[in-house]
Amino acid sequence: MTAQFQTPAGPSFRDFRHRRWTLRPQAAEPRDVVLEEMNHRWFNALQVLSNSLKSLRRPDGLSATLDERVARIDFQIRAMAALHRRLARPPAQNQTLETYCHALCIDLLLAFGREEIRPWVTMGDIAVSPATSVRVGALVVELLTNALKHGRAPAEGGAVWISMRRLGGGRLELTAADSFPAPTEEAVCPRMIEGLVARLGGDLSVQTETGYMTRIRFPAS
């Protein structure tokens, strides 16, 4: 469920002065996007679980018993199952897009075993069609996954801000930023995010300086 206290404001897109690239994807074949999304997501899930299983073969530095470490892996598997179950359908009628996306973030962080990272999700009263809400949810998951896997998330934790706002001309803007150290390598185009943005008929920009921020603009529906 959503936080019961005021969400602290994250960095704004204008705070990032160095633009690395801007992508305006062309329409993609729906079947290609769906297949790529499914396989990419399963790859991420299995990689996380593989890393967790490897931890059983070496001391974790915390003197955890084997039973405790197995229980931890079971907890991650359950979180991964909850994530995919939630992604399989749009939000319930009494659930806001903000609550839906926040729950997806919690599922993902638990699956990765990164409970110390706090997600801040702000979308207000924005409502979209069920189909669009599923794509937005998938985008939120991919953006957070990208930050955890390819960013420089510190071991001691951090914060990720995800927000959506209305623009003029019937468009919406989705942004994601984090408090992690700036990436050391040139930003590359995330193919999964590119495909999802194409399905929304939107455009995508990334800027970096003290961190990493992604901005996606697309027509409201």
Give 81-119 pLDDT, tens digit per residue: 899 889 888 999 889 999 999 999 999 999 888 888 999
Q: What value, to the nearest 5°, has the Cα angle with vertex 209 and ends 193 and 24?
A: 30
Average the pLDDT over 19-30 and give the result.
51
Average the pLDDT over 196-215 and give the result.
82
The CA distance from 86 to 89, in Å, is 6
Average the pLDDT over 191-199 and give the result.
83
pLDDT tier at 3 (50, 70, 90 boundaries)? very low
Question: Which among 98, 94, 130, 132 has a CA at the least distance from the CA of 7?
Answer: 98
Domain spans of the chain, in order of start: 13-219
Question: With 60 as the cut, is the pLDDT of residue 216 above it?
Answer: yes
What is the domain class of 13-219 according to CATH?
alpha beta
Question: With 70 as the cut, is the pLDDT of residue 153 above it?
Answer: no
| Per-residue confidence (pLDDT) for residue 136, from 0 to 100 | 94
